[in-house]
Amino acid sequence: MIHQVRVIFGDTDQMGVVYYANYLRYFEASRAAYLRDFGKSHADLDAWGVALPVVEAHCRYRQPARYEDLLDIEVDVTELRGASMRFGYQVRRDGALLAEGFTRHAVIGPDGRPRAVPPELRGLIESRPRG
């Protein structure tokens, strides 16, 4: 799925380009949009008794984004394991690839210990057609 973000002035550095760490915020926003696309939210994760903390993040920067750019962030689950998952991202402006990356997430229960991906979440992810 694709989530759009408009670059605000506060996202840019003194050179007028998007500050590198803000791409991780864009990744987070696109993960939330991914859940919303199923009619779900982080509240549903709570109801299922899990949290998805980021345990690894990576971003490769190819071209700069600037103030007022409209970015398309493509997000998908690229790996689904027993108690972890990986989201992949591609950030584009007018079709041009600006950045790509991933975040890996543990699936944990309220006690902080690993838990299996809830069947409800697994079913949603597995129902999405792959590109």
- 2 pLDDT exceeds 80? yes
- 83 pLDDT exceeds 70? yes
Mean pLDDT over residues 28-46, rounded? 95
Q: Residue 11 carries which DSSP code? A: G
pLDDT in tens, 89-121: 999 999 999 999 999 999 999 999 999 999 999
Helix (H) or strand (E) run with residue 31 in it: helix 22-37
Q: What is the pLDDT of residue 53?
A: 97
Q: Which is nearest to 89 in space by CA: 10, 97, 51, 52?
A: 97
Residue 33: C-alpha distances to residues 2, 9, 73, 122 (Å) = 9, 22, 10, 17
Alpha carbons 52 and 55: distance in angstroms, whole number? 9
Q: What is the pLDDT of residue 107?
A: 98
Sequence-separated (6 or more) residues with CB below 8 Å from residue 8 = 67
Question: Which CATH number do you get for residue 103?
Answer: 3.10.129.10
Q: Is 11 a catalytic residue?
A: no
Query: What does the mean pLDDT of the chain come to?
Result: 96
Q: What is the pLDDT of residue 131?
A: 58
**Number of domains comprising the chain:** 1
Question: Coil, helix or strand for 110?
Answer: coil
Question: Coil, helix or strand for 123?
Answer: helix
Domain extent for 40:
2-127
Catalytic residue among 11, 13, 37, 72: 13
